[in-house]
Structure 1
Amino acid sequence: MAIWYWQMDQLHSLTLSHQVTRFNVLLAHIAVSSPCAEQDLGSGLYHFLTNFVMAWLDAALGVKHGEDLTRDYFITRVWKKGMYDLVRWRPMQISRMKAAVKKLETVVPECTVSGEQFWEEVVNRPVEEHRKHGRVWAMQYIIYMERKAEGFKKDDQLRQADENLSSGDFAGAFAGLGVGDEAPDCLSEELFEREEVKALLVDVEDVMVQQPEENVPWMDPSAAIDVLEGNIDGVGDLMRTMESSFLIM
């Protein structure tokens, strides 16, 4: 039950539907795929990221990596009890992240099959190929999901606009918002004389609420943007490695 409540929070969800999670998966793949990753990141962060990637593959795609390295293990043992959390971005930063991912799409080949078929093909590849190309295939899949999500978003917006225009709800949604000369029927002086209403119409002392401590993001949001924009040394080499490791369908 605790895991279910944890997953209800979009910032702690391992599903495919949340863009921030997908961005973190993409960055985690880049981080752990770099040369000397464990030495550069430190054992604690490296452990967090590798388990995060495996838990996401397990939860979102059903790709198993062993009994211990599952979603439940990551959430209860690594995530909730550890010091690291996912990276979060402000609205302007998210816009830059989207633009950077869009640029990555230019080197990722078009997917000619469904996401399910893509991973069926991946699962059937030899273990040696998984060790050599597995992380790039997951990164490739993230890019596919970004394309798919963008398409769904546009289709949904167009469908909603068509429904509003055809049903008249677009204009009807604004009806009745004008203020007339008479008091609204829903409010009256008698209503404000009720004890339960009076109890709400009092000054409330401004009390500082102690906020619960949060885990620190595993990467600085600005640095994450720099990574995807190619402003970090070594990322160019990674892109060349990616191009030679794509799963061509």
Structure 2
Amino acid sequence: MASAEGLLHAHEKAQANLQVKMSTVPVHTILRKKHPTIIDIYEGNENLMTHGVPQHLSYSFLFSNFNALATMGFSADAPTDNLDLVKAIWYWGMDKEHSLNLRWKPVRLNVILATFILANVENGQAVSEWVSDDALPFVTQFFQAWCATLHKGAPTDGFSVQERFLDTWIHGEYDLTHFSNRGLRRLQGFVDKLLVADHGINKSSTDLETALSKMSPGQLSQHGVALAVQYCYAFEKEHAHGHEIGAENMVVDTDLSLDDLARVDWGCPLVSSLLTDVDSSIPAPVDIPRPVKRRAPWISTDAAVDIFERKLNVDDVQKMFEGIAI
């Protein structure tokens, strides 16, 4: 049995590492919408359940590979030969430009635009003025992967939908559209006009997640865009206040006795991975140069603006809400 001094040292290190290693993870990735406490880690309890992260990339992978992820600046398109690191960044929502997590505004805009394009395709409408034929398989897989991620917990198909999309992204030529700050502000102005309108739908993001994840092709063509807009609205409203990411959102456990610490399985993979050292010499992500973009956006900012200006005004979206039953 470890000495009292050894137990306290291990506990202090584990607690400090937990704050650092979870600081880049949006709480929306955690099923209960809260970062785990050190007690959760020691017990391996249900509070650790994640929203759409494969088991092999879960906490033990995150903790043991934290330094490698930090070296990449938590950027999915940073150069690396370890594709699991790339996929972990996507699944955990660490990169605001490469994620299936609505925590990030660029992802929300990509979702709304993808839903609009695919609804038009399903309705037999031409979309070539906004998106090339070559980009349609990419955006289709992105939308399918995002919908699959809406399901709570691990899907029965073993994340095959998300994996197919990530493999396409890794080896393909297209990317989610990245918006400049000016572009984000302009597009958000259009979205805000849609969000303030009363569409008669007052559902939580959880209800809308369920509706979106179960959409048939016919429902997508008729109501998909409206549901996506409403979901983004509900998400923004529910997460408008409070911190979602960062160590300031962590709960610190201070009431563990030496007897409690003596019962911790310090050798289990989850706890031992947490105890791996954090390399403080790695620059902060903002100081790591972003890689040169290698992929083309699936839709241009100009095309996105055109869609919102001409096709997604309040009246158009209102019509899409007619007949929705959630």
TM-score (ref. length: structure 2): 0.48
Cα distance in 2 for partners of 1:107, 1:246 equals 17
Q: Deviations over 1:62-89 (max 9, x none)?
A: 597977861111002x111111111121
**What's the counterpart of residue 49 of structure 1?**
139
**What's the counterpart of residue 116 of structure 1?**
206
Q: Which amino acid in 2 is paired with 1:243? A: M
| C-alpha distance 37-66 of structure 1, shift in aligned 2 (>3 A) | farther
Structure with greater proportional helix content:
1
Larger Rg: 1
**What's the counterpart of residue 163 of structure 2?**
72
Q: Which runs of 5+ in 1 are unaligned?
A: 158-208
**Alpha-carbon deviation of 1:103?**
2.1
Q: Is the 8 A contact 1:26 1:142 kept in 2?
A: yes
1:9 is aligned to 2:95: yes
Q: Is the 8 A contact 1:86 1:218 kept in 2?
A: yes
Q: Which amino acid in 2 is paired with 1:71? A: Q
**What's the counterpart of residue 191 of structure 1?**
none
Cα distance in 1 for partners of 2:231, 2:318 equals 21
Q: Deviations over 1:140-174 (max 9, x none)?
A: 333234323443454339xxxxxxxxxxxxxxxxx
**What's the counterpart of residue 205 of structure 1?**
none
2:191 to 89, 101, 104: 101
**Alpha-carbon deviation of 1:111?**
3.2
**What's the counterpart of residue 133 of structure 1?**
219
State the SS of the aligned residue for 1:133: helix
Q: Deviations over 1:93-126 (max 9, x none)?
A: 211111111222356624333232334456678x
Q: Which amino acid in 1 is paired with 2:201? A: C
| C-alpha distance 246-109 of structure 1, shift in aligned 2 (>3 A) | farther
Q: Which runs of 5+ in 2 are unaligned?
A: 1-83, 244-288
Cα distance in 2 for partners of 1:86, 1:71 equals 14
| C-alpha distance 23-223 of structure 1, shift in aligned 2 (>3 A) | same
Cα distance in 2 for partners of 1:152, 1:17 equals 11
State the SS of the aligned residue for 2:241: helix
| C-alpha distance 14-244 of structure 1, shift in aligned 2 (>3 A) | closer
Q: Which amino acid in 2 is paired with 1:220? A: S
Q: Which amino acid in 2 is paired with 1:50? A: T
**What's the counterpart of residue 298 of structure 2?**
218
**What's the counterpart of residue 144 of structure 1?**
230
Cα distance in 2 for partners of 1:150, 1:70 equals 26
**Identity rate of aligned residues, in percent?**
19
**Alpha-carbon deviation of 1:211?**
5.0
1:88 to 178, 181, 193: 178
| C-alpha distance 69-36 of structure 1, shift in aligned 2 (>3 A) | farther
| C-alpha distance 20-213 of structure 1, shift in aligned 2 (>3 A) | closer
**What's the counterpart of residue 60 of structure 1?**
150
Cα distance in 1 for partners of 2:114, 2:90 equals 21
**What's the counterpart of residue 228 of structure 1?**
308
TM-score (ref. length: structure 1): 0.61
Cα distance in 2 for partners of 1:132, 1:228 equals 22
| C-alpha distance 245-122 of structure 1, shift in aligned 2 (>3 A) | farther
**Alpha-carbon deviation of 1:223?**
2.1
Cα distance in 1 for partners of 2:127, 2:156 equals 19
Aligned length: 189
